[in-house]
Amino acid sequence: MTEQKYLTVKKWYWVWQFEEEEQWLNKMAADGWVLNRVGYATYHFERCAPGEYTVRLEMLRDWPNSAAGQDFIHQKQAEGAEYVGSMVRWVYFRKKGEFELMPDAAARLQHMDRLMPMLWAVLALLGVNWLNMLSLVVRFDGAVSVGLGTLLVLTVLLVLFAGGVRQLNELKTNYRYELQYGEPPARRTIRKWIWVWQFEEEDLWLNRMAADGWVLEQVAFCKYVFRRCAPGEYSVRLQLMENLADRSYIDFVESTGAEYIGRMAKWIYFRKPTAEGPFELFSDLDSRIRQLDKITAMLVGAGTLALVAAVGNVCCWLMLRSAPNGQVALLCLVGTALTVYCRKRILQKRQALEAERALHE
């Protein structure tokens, strides 16, 4: 096989995830792929020596092609950074070796002040629309299907953006702390939604955080608390566990030098100091395949439940012509579709492992 020179990855990051985006881009650079063009939710990479480049991004006050934006870009270029491209008001730079766009907490705080108003504006807009829709639905006694549907979508967006604003506020508090005390706080919280099929990405992300000096300390629903550690001090692993009442597995893993961090639903998290050697929970293909099968089984269970609920509600809706039943049925169907999609993603992973298993143990 010839060596691949270019790589395109489709990936979506919300505005409040810019830190994570930067971490990911630098992980790619460390793996030998440096960003060379950005598009809408698309990242184009080219081959580089692993760890050769540092990639940084920032949101400008002005548009990148305005005079002020161009000034900023030229100034950075004069300082030796390579301009990669822009996406809306975000600019991307890369440079060989270590490099920062925002060297200190003060600069990062200013950056936050640029970011926040935009998000607050979106949040306010969503809020007004939400109230508007709510009053409409209430006035028409919930019988307006379209209204209820829109209300639902708006609610989801509202929760999402409120989460984002909250996330950025936490980040801002951290920077303020750093500005005042000269070092980042001992703990920080990141709120993040992760789909079931993304457990590998979650694992990578938690380890990128650990490599950056933040080790997972607590997990809760959509919430990750990190503690400051030496960069690369820990490896973190997670897995699905069917029988949560059974402590013996956790005890067993702990007896091998790992530390149990906690659990979120059926997922359990461990960490182990990297000094004590590499840390994996599964070392052969069979146990990895088995792990995927457990996830599939869980998804099939949830999907069946959602489908049964959907059928029940469709029947009610048809017989009683009751709009709320129609709404619930729609929701359940969306849920079913989601589990089917999850299952497909997991099966793809399983097939890749099985192809490998046909040759290797």
Partner 1 sequence: MAEALALTEAVFYILLALLKPMHGYGIMQTVEKMSGGRVRLAAGTLYGALSSLCSKGWIEELPGEGGSRKKEYCITPAGLQAAQTELRRLQELAANGAALLGEE
Interface residue with partner 1 among 282, 293, 301, 344 (CB under 8 A) is 282
Nearer to partner 1, 79 or 354 (CB): 354
Residues 287-306 vs partner 1: string with x where CB under 8 A? Answer: x--xx---------------
319 phi/psi in degrees, rounded to 5: -80, -45
> Encoding tokens for residue 199?
């457990």
Cβ contact 281:237 at 8 Å: yes
Interface residue with partner 1 among 239, 313, 325, 339 (CB under 8 A) is 239
Cα 267 from chain centroid (whole Å): 16
Contacts of 89 (CB under 8 A, 6+ apart): 59, 60, 61, 62, 63, 64
Which residue(s) pair with 270 in the sheet? 237, 260
Nearer to partner 1, 6 or 282 (CB): 282
Considering the rule CB under 8 A, would residue 244 count as an interface residue with partner 1? no
Interface residue with partner 1 among 42, 256, 304, 351 (CB under 8 A) is 256
Interface residue with partner 1 among 103, 117, 182, 278 (CB under 8 A) is 278
d(C-alpha 146, C-alpha 323), whole Å: 10
Nearer to partner 1, 290 or 321 (CB): 290
Nearer to partner 1, 200 or 286 (CB): 286
Which stretch in 16-24, 107-115, 158-166, 281-289 sits in contact with partner 1 by CB under 8 A? 281-289
Q: Total residues at the site for partner 1 (CB under 8 A)?
A: 21
Which stretch in 13-21, 74-82, 153-161, 244-252 sits in contact with partner 1 by CB under 8 A? 244-252
Q: How far is the CB of 287 from partner 1 (least distance, A)?
A: 4
Give the H or E element holding residue 199: helix 199-211
Interface residue with partner 1 among 104, 183, 200, 286 (CB under 8 A) is 286
d(C-alpha 357, C-alpha 351), whole Å: 9
Q: Which of 204, 219, 347, 359 is nearest to 289 (CA)?
A: 347
Considering the rule CB under 8 A, would residue 253 count as an interface residue with partner 1? yes
Amino acid at 6: Y
d(C-alpha 190, C-alpha 217), whole Å: 11
d(C-alpha 232, C-alpha 271), whole Å: 12
Q: How far is the CB of 44 from partner 1 (least distance, A)?
A: 35
Considering the rule CB under 8 A, would residue 113 count as an interface residue with partner 1? no
Considering the rule CB under 8 A, would residue 258 count as an interface residue with partner 1? yes
> Encoding tokens for residue 6?
């270019």
Cβ contact 35:91 at 8 Å: no
d(C-alpha 220, C-alpha 216), whole Å: 11
Nearer to partner 1, 180 or 283 (CB): 283
Nearer to partner 1, 31 or 284 (CB): 284
Binding site for partner 1 (CB under 8 A): 239, 249, 251-253, 255-258, 277-278, 280-284, 286-287, 290-291, 361
